[in-house]
Structure 1
Amino acid sequence: MSAASAVSARRFSLNQWTTKRWSVAEAVDGCVRHGVEAIGLWRQDVARQGLEETAKLVRDAGLRVSSLCRGGFLTSGSAESLDDNRRAIDEAAALEAGCLVMVVGGLPGVVPDEPLGSGERGIDRDLAGARERVAEALAVLAPYAGERGVRLALEPLHPMYCADRAVLSTLEQALDLAEPHPSEQVGVVVDTFHVWWDPNVLAQIARAGHRIASYQVCDFLHPIPANALLGRGVMGDGVIDFTSLTEAVTAAGYTGDIEVEIFNADVWAADPDEVLARIKARFGELIAR
């Protein structure tokens, strides 16, 4: 029996933005109706629903919160960023989330989805300096998270997002940043969309071991759409070999929930119940087989 065949379908988690049309309440209800036991939540949607109400909805439904997304955007080094991340940690604690996903931020002055325009526009092109500020922020936030029983999960993003969303592009970089901290305070996210291309990814997954705080799956579409953020597809619709990645994550000792996280205009436009049924079926075929 391969490592991949040991993955239970009960570990399937619906990342809320896969069915983006659903509110928190609707997503929780959808999980119950489809027999899904875990959900990944997003802070802005939790805020709309209300933190206390969200916690009650999830608790009453008997769901696990596999992750809360997102903290991060630490590269400015500002006090405001630290304060927002402390709030995110407190929210994750209230939801008893498995981890708080940290998208660490891009180069200061570069705004996601906005053109640079002409001139300097105050852009700080010091990539090494931006990464150093992430390390400095973690030194402040990790103990705060640990006191509240929250695990920060550093998520490396595909290199095409380095300028605007994450100066961490590889699992190796994320692990290097995590290692100075206790593993219960700082772990890493293995997201198939972001790491599949890395020739060292299997070795780095083995290195990660108990640092793996979240395993997220979706496919990498070809061709990539004009908005690269929406290039995440249903498993089996793109180019990723899920067997090797899932076997590596399993062999590393990860036994937690596996989130399906898809940003895709066509998926978002479709009926959420049909989407959930489809991704559950693909999960069974490609992840929990």
Structure 2
Amino acid sequence: MIPALSRLSFLLAGPYAFYRDVLTLADDPRPALPGRELIRPETLDTLMRRFRPKDANNDRRAVASLWSKEYFLRLVPPVAAANLLLSWHLPIGLDEFSVIIGPDGLPQAFKLPDGGTAMASTCVDPFARFDALLEKNMAVLIDALAAHVRISPRVLWCNGGDYFDRLMVALRQSGLVPQALTAAGQSILTEPRRTDGRSNPMYQPIRYERVLKADGTADVVRQPRVCCIRYLLPGVPYCGNCPHLTAVARRIPSPVS
């Protein structure tokens, strides 16, 4: 574990314990791929084939979407937690770090050149705080993937936003984190536009809707704004909370707070 992140030990337990080893430093002996190599078409093709060899001749968009979910699952929560709870900047731009790739073509860990630095107390703009994650990493990778397999960037941003939202929910439910520390993260998910006026691709990636079940009782459904299109692969079912499925449910008009 990166030394500065040891202060997150109270979170890195139970189902989150594997995050202890997701961010490593340059002295990690495992071979790693320079981050910029990830956006090369040849590299993407190789990783997709290793990830799902049985789908080599099937819809590449769905394979790329599933691969991106695995990437964001490993990257987004620990980086965002360090940002929000420790005000700690990690060098995770694609030009800065390397990626340790497993035999299945998925990231095992991210090798950082150093342990990061404390953020300036004057950095109050949420989008400035998350510039390294959103602009220097996610946006670059998403643009490359979208161009290579011709998938809508909205699908990939929703995949990444899903894990950001899951982190925010986990922090709220933990009861250990003051709301003031998570306010910047909440802004990333609730502001339709960035500070400079551009649209925010992380805006409301997840919706919480009240629906009527078959037995007439109400339930809350956690629903991605955009389908991950995994169903385009043979034998892969819809997600349980796929918007294509819940769209046919009868919604209760009152909003969920």
Interval containing the TM-score (normalised by the shorter chain):
0.3 to 0.5
TM-score, normalised to structure 2's length?
Answer: 0.34
